[in-house]
Amino acid sequence: MAHKFEIWKDKAGEYRVKFKFNAETMFTTEGYSSKAAAQNAIASIKKNGPDAPVEDNS
């Protein structure tokens, strides 16, 4: 699979999510206090991401 979400615990003890495509990190989320909250962030991205508008500020 060329893309995936990863959950990890940072040095501050917060859970973070990164989205990787072809081993390159595309984005990283803010820190969450629980793994469940990080999993909810992934679910939200999957649900709402496909319809997100593109804003070109160039």
**17 Cβ partners below 8 Å, 6+ apart?**
5, 6, 7, 28, 29, 32, 38, 41, 42
pLDDT score at 3: 94
CA distances to 23, 47, 57, 58 from 43, rounded to whole Å, are 21, 6, 27, 30
Q: 3-48: which CATH topology? A: Double Stranded RNA Binding Domain (3.30.160)
- For 1-56, write each residue's pLDDT tens digit: 689 999 999 999 999 999 999 989 999 999 999 999 999 999 999 999 988 999 99
